[in-house]
């Protein structure tokens, strides 16, 4: 566990350094590109350049997407950084031959490499970190990237102020070489991550086919498309105002460099101060939705108060939010997607749809220039506001798709993930027996098994011959005889016991030697006596050992009346009564769809269960174990009794109001050695749990994690092998 933590910290450090160099170089390159192009060509040539760059980028994306699936980001991304570095050195030489040609080459280079490198980098991040830890890590990585943007903008401004524009090109090439080296620290570290990466490489699939059947990914793609169209429009309006104010290359580059430096500074501040709070309080969808809201407001602001500074403010706001809050939430939307689908589609969405947006934006700008040359800016700003509203509407549907993707990821990984025992079986048995004895010493006389007392009382009764011969009286006598064989004979009658014997059979639930037969006999007639059993269950003066075994009897009688009684028992003072009642109620709800329980009651019970201290939460023990005939099966047969009773009871309660199947896999994930599955489980719970319950539950979930263990000996390996065989057996039975 400590080695894994060190590996995660090293990976995060590599990610932060790479993002710093990547975005710093990107910002400096964009400032150079804009200044070089707008001083070498006319502003009206910009839409055509945008369209040409977009088509080139789309072609590169299609090639990259296939290569990404075949090679994976671990091999493709470093090679792409090296290739980009060589290309930048070539453009550096080209600038001394023809500046207009070099301007086009740099524009095309950034279009072909810029977003692809960013997308590839984030693909590595998404594959390296699980969904839960990604929430903590992504914010820091984006902060490093935004700080790099600030440094990159200032670097470009200083070079423009003191030297030729061309001097920045070898600096950019060096930054990409640095990225090629540092990005290797993001390669998958654990066997499970590497195995999944290998499976993704072996399953190419069709990106278009995946997008056709995956509405969640389609919505993400449309959001990218609409956002890029809006950004292209605002960028054009802003550059029109800038070229009217500045004419010299160095002056224009300094202005753009300061603009990009301002983006870096503001993005760093927003990311540092608000990103994590926004994700925690607003959620992914509403955090991402802040971008289209801001662009709509900015478009309206420029329309009402046209000019350089209003246009710069609108473009600045879009860039800052896109690189901070939007990026933090947008990248997390991809984390739960299966690797094979992510690799096949992420580059298409990140770059392909981004470039399609650029092409569409350039086409719209060119069309408006031709059709409405007088009111070009006003029409473009109106279109930007419309596209922003459309993007905002689609983003509202992303949360549901995110939860479904988390559920699917849990189910896929949970089916094959290795589960390990928390303690040695023989050790856990000895501990449980010791704890049971200690618990029994602290119980009242009514809590003790009554076999000895029943035997003594029955001996007295046996000395007195019955006053008359009656079959029912003889059965009563046998039940009170204290002789296990005689009791079993009465309880084993095929026709079932007479309901009039119930009052004599219920006390036998406290006798361990015959309690399984007593349970079976009562279950046969449970439908006739459910009211009597519920009364005994809810009677605080009834013996504890009896009350904790009554839910097992009631589980055989799926009815609304029984469900109501078990729901009331969830508030009992004794934990094991609540624990067994919860398992019985969950069993009934899965058996009969027409039976319902008020979710409000269940959530209130969960709130009460999780309001205890960690000491009480972790020290709860169960006296009746599943498999002895005195208790219901565990919530999950693979984990079994290796989980804390408090945690198992919590998930049993949650299964009554949430989807049981992914919840069960999340429960397994909390006990798994697979860091990706455990992180996915925590992220799934983080998303589906109500905020007020999550605050109480979250501190307690840490108790479910496996403690560090020494190297396994033969017994431990055998134990894990047996657990694997149980998983295989379980999967086979479920598939039949």
Mean pLDDT of 617-637: 74
Least-confidence region, from 262-266, 310-314, 523-527: 262-266
With respect to residue 513, please indicate whether it lies within any of the assigned structural domains. Answer: no
3-state secondary structure 165-214: HHHHHHHHHHHHHHHHHHHHHHCCCCHHHHHHHHHHHHCCCCHHHHHHHC
Residues 440, 359, single domain; the answer is: no
| 608 contacts 572 by C-beta, under 8 angstroms | no
Residues 371, 436, single domain; the answer is: no
Q: Which of 294, 292, 289 is nearest to 266 (CA)?
A: 294
Residue 471 has pLDDT above 70, yes or no: yes
What's the pLDDT at 572? 92
Residues 668-711: pLDDT tens digits?
A: 888 777 777 777 778 788 878 888 888 888 888 763 443 333 34
What's the pLDDT at 628? 54
What's the pLDDT at 442? 38
| 336 contacts 402 by C-beta, under 8 angstroms | yes
Residues 126-151: pLDDT tens digits?
A: 777 766 666 667 777 877 877 887 78
pLDDT confidence of 718, banded at 50, 70, 90?
very low
Residue 441 has pLDDT above 70, yes or no: no
Residue 301 and residue 381: Cα distance in Å, rounded?
A: 9
Q: How many domains are there within the chain?
A: 2
Least-confidence region, from 173-177, 464-468, 675-679: 464-468
Residue 4 has pLDDT above 80, yes or no: no
Q: Which of 392, 266, 280, 281 is nearest to 323 (CA)?
A: 266
Highest mean pLDDT out of 126-135, 233-242, 332-341, 639-648: 233-242
**Average pLDDT along the chain:** 77
What's the pLDDT at 132? 65
Angle at 349 (CA atoms; ends 346, 351), nearest 5 degrees: 100
pLDDT confidence of 291, banded at 50, 70, 90?
very high
The torsion defined by the Cα of 523, 527, 531 and 536, in degrees rounded to 10, comes to: 0
Residue 16 and residue 146: Cα distance in Å, rounded?
A: 10
pLDDT confidence of 632, banded at 50, 70, 90?
confident
Residue 457 and residue 482: Cα distance in Å, rounded?
A: 8
Question: How distant, in Å, are the alpha carbons of 52, 164, 304, 446, 544 from that of 540?
Answer: 80, 88, 73, 11, 8
Residues 211, 339, single domain; the answer is: yes
What's the pLDDT at 412? 64
Q: What residue numbers bound the domain in which 240 lies?
A: 2-414
Residues 312, 431, single domain; the answer is: no
The DSSP 8-state label assigned to residue 706 in this structure reads: P
What's the pLDDT at 721? 34
Residue 592 has pLDDT above 70, yes or no: yes
Residue 531 and residue 109: Cα distance in Å, rounded?
A: 78
What's the pLDDT at 161? 66
Mean pLDDT of 551-573: 90
Residues 443, 380, single domain; the answer is: no
Residues 229-239: pLDDT tens digits?
A: 999 899 888 88
With respect to residue 231, please indicate whether it lies within any of the assigned structural domains. Answer: yes
What's the pLDDT at 260? 77
Residue 505 backbone class (left: φ over 0; alpha: ψ -120 to 50; beta: rest):
alpha
Non-local (6+) Cβ contacts of 218 within 8 A are 211, 212
Residue 671 and residue 206: Cα distance in Å, rounded?
A: 35
Mean pLDDT of 562-586: 91
With respect to residue 574, please indicate whether it lies within any of the assigned structural domains. Answer: yes
Residue 574 has pLDDT above 70, yes or no: yes
Residues 376, 439, single domain; the answer is: no
Mean pLDDT of 197-212: 58
What's the pLDDT at 160? 66
- pTM for this prediction: 0.58
| 621 contacts 432 by C-beta, under 8 angstroms | yes
Least-confidence region, from 116-125, 256-265, 425-434: 425-434
What is the percentage of the chain residues whose pLDDT exceeds 70?
79
Q: Write the CATH number for 207.
A: 1.20.1250.20
Residue 490 has pLDDT above 80, yes or no: yes
What's the pLDDT at 299? 92
Mean pLDDT of 187-209: 51
With respect to residue 508, please indicate whether it lies within any of the assigned structural domains. Answer: no
With respect to residue 519, please indicate whether it lies within any of the assigned structural domains. Answer: no
With respect to residue 505, please indicate whether it lies within any of the assigned structural domains. Answer: no
Residue 66 has pLDDT above 80, yes or no: no
With respect to residue 715, please indicate whether it lies within any of the assigned structural domains. Answer: yes
What's the pLDDT at 194? 46
End residue of a domain, out of 393, 414, 435: 414
pLDDT confidence of 719, banded at 50, 70, 90?
very low
User: Is the model more confident about 262 or about 602?
Assistant: 602
End residue of a domain, out of 363, 391, 414: 414
Residues 357, 430, single domain; the answer is: no
pLDDT confidence of 90, banded at 50, 70, 90?
very high
Residues 151, 53, single domain; the answer is: yes
pLDDT confidence of 422, banded at 50, 70, 90?
very low
């Amino acid at each position: 566990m400590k080695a894994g933590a060190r590996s995660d910290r090293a990976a995060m450090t590599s990610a932060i350094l790479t993002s710093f160099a990547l975005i710093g170089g990107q910002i400096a390159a964009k400032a150079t590109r804009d200044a070089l192009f707008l001083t070498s060509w006319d502003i009206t040539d910009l839409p055509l350049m945008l369209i040409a760059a977009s088509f080139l980028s789309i072609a590169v994306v299609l090639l990259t997407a296939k290569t990404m699936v075949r090679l994976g980001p671990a091999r493709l991304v470093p090679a792409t950084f090296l290739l980009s570095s060589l290309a930048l050195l070539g453009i550096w030489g080209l600038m001394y031959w023809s500046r207009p040609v070099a301007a086009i080459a740099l524009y095309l280079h950034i279009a072909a490499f810029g977003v692809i490198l960013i997308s590839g980098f984030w693909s590595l991040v998404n594959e390296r970190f699980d969904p839960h830890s990604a929430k903590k890590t992504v914010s820091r990585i984006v902060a490093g990237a935004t700080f790099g943007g600030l440094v990159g903008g200032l670097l470009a401004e200083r070079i423009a102020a003191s030297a030729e524009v061309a001097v920045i090109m070898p600096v950019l090439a060096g930054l990409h070489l640095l990225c090629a080296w540092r990005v290797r620290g993001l390669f998958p570290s654990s066997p499970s991550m590497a195995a999944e990466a290998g499976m993704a490489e072996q399953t190419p699939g069709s990106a278009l086919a995946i997008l056709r059947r995956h509405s969640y990914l389609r919505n993400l793609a449309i959001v990218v498309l609409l956002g890029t169209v809006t950004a292209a429009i605002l960028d054009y309006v802003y550059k029109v105002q800038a070229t009217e104010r500045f004419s010299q290359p160095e002056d224009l580059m300094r202005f753009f460099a300061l603009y990009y430096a301002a983006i870096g500074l503001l993005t760093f501040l927003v990311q540092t101060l608000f990103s994590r709070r926004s994700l925690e309080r607003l959620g992914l969808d509403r955090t991402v939705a802040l971008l289209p809201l801001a662009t709509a407001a900015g478009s309206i602001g420029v329309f009402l108060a046209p000019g350089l500074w209003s246009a710069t403010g609108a473009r600045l706001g879009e860039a800052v939010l896109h690189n901070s809050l939007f990026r933090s939430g947008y990248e997390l939307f991809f984390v739960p997607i299966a690797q094979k689908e992510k690799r096949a589609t992420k580059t298409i969405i990140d770059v392909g749809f981004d470039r399609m947006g650029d092409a569409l934006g350039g086409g719209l700008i060119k069309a408006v220039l031709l059709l409405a040359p007088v009111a070009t800016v006003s029409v473009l700003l109106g279109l930007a506001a419309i596209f922003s509203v459309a993007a905002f509407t689609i983003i509202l549907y992303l949360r549901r798709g995110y939860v479904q993707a988390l559920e699917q990821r849990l189910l896929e990984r949970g089916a094959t993930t290795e589960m390990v025992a928390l303690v040695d079986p023989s050790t856990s048995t000895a501990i449980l027996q010791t704890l049971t004895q200690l618990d029994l010493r602290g119980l009242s006389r009514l809590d003790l098994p009554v076999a000895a007392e029943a035997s003594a009382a029955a001996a007295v009764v046996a000395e007195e011959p019955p006053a008359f011969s009656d079959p029912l009286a003889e059965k009563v006598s046998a039940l009170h005889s204290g002789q296990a064989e005689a009791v079993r004979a009465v309880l084993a009658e095929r026709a079932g016991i007479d309901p009039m014997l119930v009052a004599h059979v219920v006390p036998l639930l406290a006798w361990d030697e015959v309690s399984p037969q007593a349970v079976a006999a009562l279950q046969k007639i449970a439908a006739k006596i459910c009211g009597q059993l519920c009364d005994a269950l809810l009677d605080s003066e009834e013996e504890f050992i009896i009350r904790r075994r009554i839910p097992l009897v009631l589980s055989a009688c799926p009815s609304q009346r029984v469900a109501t009684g078990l729901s009331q028992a969830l508030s009992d003072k004794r934990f094991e009564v609540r624990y067994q009642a919860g398992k019985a109620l969950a069993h009934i709800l899965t058996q009969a769809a027409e039976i319902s329980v008020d979710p409000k009651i269940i959530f209130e019970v969960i709130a009460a269960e999780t309001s205890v201290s960690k000491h009480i939460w972790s020290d709860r023990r169960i006296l009746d174990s599943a498999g002895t005939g005195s208790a219901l099966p565990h919530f999950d047969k693979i984990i079994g009794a290796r989980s804390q009773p408090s945690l198992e009871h919590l998930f049993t309660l949650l299964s009554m109001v949430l989807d049981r199947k992914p919840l069960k896999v999340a429960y397994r994930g909390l006990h798994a050695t697979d860091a990706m599955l455990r992180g996915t489980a925590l992220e799934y719970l983080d998303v589906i749990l109500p905020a007020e319950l999550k605050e109480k539950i979250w501190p307690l979930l840490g108790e479910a994690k496996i403690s560090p263990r020494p190297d396994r000996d033969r017994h431990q390996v055998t134990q894990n092998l047996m657990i694997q065989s149980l998983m295989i057996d379980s999967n086979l039975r479920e598939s039949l």
